Structure 1
Amino acid sequence: MKNSHLIGLNAEDCKNIAQKLNVLLSNYSVFYQNTRGAHWNIKGDLFFTLHPKFEELYNNLVLKIDEIAERILTLGAQPEHNYSFYIQNSEIKESNEVSNPVKCVENILDSFRIIIALQRDLLELTDKAGDEGTNSLMSDYITEQEKEIWMYNSFLGK
């Protein structure tokens, strides 16, 4: 990896981390688009509650997508940008459930579960590699997302 020596990391570690970050990027991208779909298509009595909440979430997701892509570049790799790659490499699947409020929130919670698991895997890898930059990013994301899970779960009355 061309930047590894400049940031003091092992090239092979950078390669492995960047590959896992590209998988994370894929999951975030599908999560983002699913959330946009829910924002656009939500129906019913909870529209005025969830419509702005979904917009807040997808705005947050797009920031993370950019940060992850830039971290991949910092490690000396190239971020994937094709939806064909995203769909093939994402554990989060495209959602067709975009108008039922409860189903949308359940999909968001499931997406967070997947994202957090991937980020925890990255924490282990980056800790061993001494990659504080990626490690800090993942740790911050997890802290924020655990709170989001609590709030969305509370919305469902759980």
Structure 2
Amino acid sequence: MKTLDYLHLNEKKVADVVSALHQLLADFQVHYTNLRGFHWDIKGHGFFVLHGKFEDMYNDAAEKVDEIAERILMLGGTPENKFSEYLKVAKVKEISGITCGGEAVEHILETYSYLIGEERKVIELANEAGDDATADLMTGYLKEQEKMVWMLVAFSTKSCTK
């Protein structure tokens, strides 16, 4: 028997979910690597705050990579594990050499915008397949990322002076 037999999910119905999760896995892997680079390369004003925040963010991304890969396995798929393959399909592009905090934050906001859109698509596909667990996983990601977007936008806003 297959795992899906016990989960009461139809393999054909979750095929689109698995495909979308493969895309998300590739995108998160590149996002993780970009965050590591921001963490290593950041300089100047805001270094202490951003260096630590980028570490928190890449640790979070690494956890999500593992969760996505495991969800692919639960749904009968096989997650990719070669970075060369991720780069062929990822829509998140590799970024390097960013030392300015504001520029790094802007790249992160653009990535979150993309990931949030993709996660909403996964939720839609999961709901169509009756896959509540994947929809719930993505909903949790959205909750965290929407708050992070709000915080990064607030961090990036120029202060008012009187």
- TM-score w.r.t. the length of structure 1 is 0.96
Query: Partner of 2:105 in structure 1?
Result: 105
Query: Partner of 2:115 in structure 1?
Result: 115
- Would you say the 8 A contact 2:4–2:76 is kept in 1? yes
Count of equivalent residues: 158
Query: Partner of 2:30 in structure 1?
Result: 30
Query: Partner of 2:78 in structure 1?
Result: 78
**How big is each residue's C-alpha offset from its partner over 1:40-93, in whole Å with a ceiling of 9 and x where there is no partner?**
010102111100000000011100110000000100110111111211111110
Please give the alpha-carbon distance, in whole angstroms, between the structure 2 residues aligned to 1:23 and 1:141. 15
Gaps in structure 2 of 5+ consecutive residues: none
- The amino acid that maps onto 1:126 is A
Please give the alpha-carbon distance, in whole angstroms, between the structure 1 residues aligned to 2:104 and 2:89. 22
Q: Secondary structure at the match of 2:81?
A: coil
Please give the alpha-carbon distance, in whole angstroms, between the structure 1 residues aligned to 2:26 and 2:122. 14
- The runs of at least 4 consecutive aligned structure 1 residues that moved more than 4 Å come to none
Please give the alpha-carbon distance, in whole angstroms, between the structure 1 residues aligned to 2:139 and 2:38. 27
Displacement after TM superposition at 1:97 (Å): 4.5
RMSD: 1.3
My pick for the range that moved more, 11-20 or 75-84, is 11-20
Please give the alpha-carbon distance, in whole angstroms, between the structure 1 residues aligned to 2:66 and 2:30. 14
Query: Partner of 2:8 in structure 1?
Result: 8
Q: Flag the structure with larger Rg.
A: 2
Identical positions, percent: 42
